[in-house]
Amino acid sequence: MKCRSLMVQGTASHVGKSILVAAFCRILRQDGYKVAPFKAQNMALNSFITRDGGEMGRAQVVQAEAAGLEPHVDMNPVLIKPNTDVGAQVIIHGRVYQNMSASLYHEFKKEAIAFVRQSFQRLSEKYDFIAIEGAGSPAEINLRENDIVNMGMAEIADCPVILAGDIDRGGVFASLVGTIELLSEDERQRVKGFIINKFRGDISLLKPGLNFLEKKTGIPVLGTIPYFKDIYIQEEDGVSLERLIPSGGNEKVDVAVIRLPHISNFTDFDPFEREPDVRLRYVNYGEKIGNADVIIVPGSKNTIDDLNYLHNSGHVQEILRHYRSGGLVVGICGGYQMLGEYIEDPYHIETSLESINGIGLLPVRTLIEKEKVTCQVSANIHPSNRIFKNTDELKGYEIHMGRTELRDEKYMFEIIQREEKQTSTPDGFISEDGRVWGTYIHGIFDNDGFRQEFIKRVKQAKGISVSSEAHASFSFQEFKEAQYDRLAELVRNNIDMEAFCRIAGLR
């Protein structure tokens, strides 16, 4: 069977393109197709490391999971990770290419298109169908030249386009019609259908608008997706951290994650949202941390700038007071580095500063290096760690530009496999009393046994009774799989799938 493809573009960012592509990946997988996701160029700080050490955007990881595939960098050949307001680290086929300003990258897209073609061709040789995601809007006039992610990509794939709009933010008919009006005639011919996303209310009240839209543009509306909150799909963009997490009483473990200006890999903490005895919340700019059982300093794309933010915002003083009053503090990756004594940046990888004092809760020192570490790992609790009992083998990944030296030997984990090679390497550090620890391992809380042991320890410290059977059956991975099925069912029930398959060349 010849590989087919279809592209989901949007009238703007955050209209639901990633979710729709994930849904189509799941639906087509259920229908027996070998389907793969693809996004030529992704801009995100929330990335993932593949089995062979390549770095890619998490949205395509979610879509690959929905398709039942192991993520591969060909699904996201170009990843842009902003590290300043006007510059970013550019990653090609999973590896750091170089740092570029916005204007330099705009010119570089003439070269990047070759990498995009290579990845798309490789996927086309392996799969029956490729579900392609666009980025932002195809009607951004200033970005049309050298485009590789919207209509430029649709031309490379020679595929039809479905245009999605978000009705929840208002103005969906104007944004859909306006986008079509700003496209060239050839581009308009590629748009074969509309999807209206995030609808609340009585669908019959929307019919006049749908009729107008079809008459005005000559393009059919394939369906209207209801607004939903009860289906969990991991999100890639930090805008999702604006969501409100329900509060809890004294029987809840209160976990406060500091939302750093350059926060990365915040999905590390998603599993806590599904734990009934945990209240997860994010501390935004200008807010106080307040009373918490655990404070987590997360990963960062610019550790030194974000450490400066913690000092200047008063959060360092709050963290120290929290620890002195008996609270727990955890650092993941960049957060682990910040909990140490100081960070050195002699090559000015991140800022013009050569060093900065850390929070000082762990006796570790970090040197920012030129080469980025990217690898999947397997680990156990380190033999020197007398606080946590050994759980099942732990899985995760490392992604950092720093080497951390310890002045003691109270390690948190022992890495037993890195990049599929056996090893015995200590990772992280845990304080004598067990109330401060850090690690380079992203995804550590995805491990059910370790997460439940962590919650149990916090509850015991808080004086909450702990049942030995509490949450023992909860599997985060099984939960995610069930959510992909629920998403597929929702989209099937609200989209004209016969029309979708005709447009996609599957009928």
Give the model confidence (pLDDT) of 428-454 as tens digits. 999 999 999 999 999 999 999 999 999
Give the model confidence (pLDDT) of 170-183 as tens digits. 999 999 999 999 99
Q: Which two tokens stand for residue 233?
A: 């799909």
**Is 442 in the active site?**
yes
Tell me if 475 sits within 8 A of 462, measured CB to CB. no
Give the model confidence (pLDDT) of 301-359 as tens digits. 999 999 999 999 999 999 999 999 999 999 999 999 999 999 999 988 888 888 899 99
Asked, for residue 243, whether it belongs to a domain, the answer is no
Coil vs helix vs strand at 284: coil
Between 251 and 271, residue with greater pLDDT: 271
Between 292 and 252, residue with greater pLDDT: 292
Q: Are residues 223 and 310 in the same domain?
A: no
Asked, for residue 36, whether it belongs to a domain, the answer is yes
Asked, for residue 406, whether it belongs to a domain, the answer is yes
Position 244 scores a pLDDT of 43
Tell me the average pLDDT of the chain: 93
Q: Are residues 203 and 307 in the same domain?
A: no
Task: Look up the CATH number of the domain holding residue 495.
Answer: 3.40.50.300
Nearest residue to 24 via CA among 43, 38, 42 = 38
Cα-based distances in Å from 328 to 465, 485, 504: 18, 37, 52
Tell me if 10 sits within 8 A of 16, measured CB to CB. yes
Coil vs helix vs strand at 80: strand
- Kind plus residue range of the DSSP H or E element containing 160: none
Asked, for residue 320, whether it belongs to a domain, the answer is yes
Q: Which two tokens stand for residue 122?
A: 């490789």
pLDDT interval class at 392 (50, 70, 90):
confident
Q: Are residues 369 and 420 in the same domain?
A: yes
Q: Please report how many Cα atoms fall inside a 13 Å half-sphere around the Cα of residue 373, on the Cβ side.
A: 20
Q: Of 3, 159, 333, 375, which residue is the catalytic one?
A: 333
Q: Which two tokens stand for residue 483?
A: 């959510």
pLDDT at residue 247 tops 60: no
Position 468 scores a pLDDT of 59
Nearest residue to 190 via CA among 407, 463, 7, 416 = 7
In angstroms, the CA 370 to CA 47 distance is 19
pLDDT at residue 227 tops 70: yes
Triad 15, 17, 18: Cα angle to 5°: 120
In angstroms, the CA 490 to CA 473 distance is 26
Coil vs helix vs strand at 56: strand
In angstroms, the CA 439 to CA 379 distance is 11
Buried b (16+ CB within 10 A) or exposed e, 175-192: bbbebbeebeeebbebbb
Q: Are residues 125 and 93 in the same domain?
A: yes
CB atoms within 10 A of CB 499: 16
Give the model confidence (pLDDT) of 23-33 as tens digits. 999 999 999 99
Asked, for residue 17, whether it belongs to a domain, the answer is yes
CB atoms within 10 A of CB 85: 7
* Burial bucket for residue 131 (CB in 10 Å: 0-12, 13-18, 19+): buried
Q: Are residues 330 and 380 in the same domain?
A: yes
With a CB cutoff of 8 Å and minimum separation 6, the contacts of 241 are 259, 263, 266, 282, 284
Q: Which two tokens stand for residue 47?
A: 């990335």
Asked, for residue 72, whether it belongs to a domain, the answer is yes
Percentage of the residues of the chain whose pLDDT score is greater than 90: 82
Position 353 scores a pLDDT of 83
Asked, for residue 278, whether it belongs to a domain, the answer is yes
pLDDT interval class at 470 (50, 70, 90):
low
- Kind plus residue range of the DSSP H or E element containing 222: strand 221-226
Q: Are residues 210 and 328 in the same domain?
A: no
In angstroms, the CA 491 to CA 465 distance is 42
Q: Of 262, 315, 382, 442, which residue is the catalytic one?
A: 442
By residue range, what is the domain housing residue 347?
252-463
Q: Are residues 312 and 258 in the same domain?
A: yes
- Average the pLDDT over 193-206 and give the result: 94
Task: Look up the CATH number of the domain holding residue 302.
Answer: 3.40.50.880
Buried b (16+ CB within 10 A) or exposed e, 234-267: bbbbbeebeeeeeeeeeebbbbbbbbbebbbbbb
Q: Are residues 258 and 219 in the same domain?
A: no
Coil vs helix vs strand at 462: helix
Asked, for residue 239, whether it belongs to a domain, the answer is no
Number of domains present in the structure of the chain: 2
In angstroms, the CA 194 to CA 278 distance is 40
Cα pseudo-dihedral 229, 61, 302, 77, rounded to 10: -130
Q: Are residues 486 and 457 in the same domain?
A: no
Q: Are residues 353 and 286 in the same domain?
A: yes
Predicted model pTM: 0.92
Q: Are residues 441 and 494 in the same domain?
A: no
Out of 24-28, 114-118, 332-336, 387-391, pick the least confident.
387-391
Q: Which two tokens stand for residue 159?
A: 């595929």
Position 237 scores a pLDDT of 64
Q: Are residues 30 and 158 in the same domain?
A: yes
- Please name every residue paired with 88 in a beta bridge, in sequence order, or none if there are none: 82, 100
Position 243 scores a pLDDT of 47
Position 469 scores a pLDDT of 54
Strand order in the sheet with 87-92: 41-43, 78-82, 87-92, 95-101
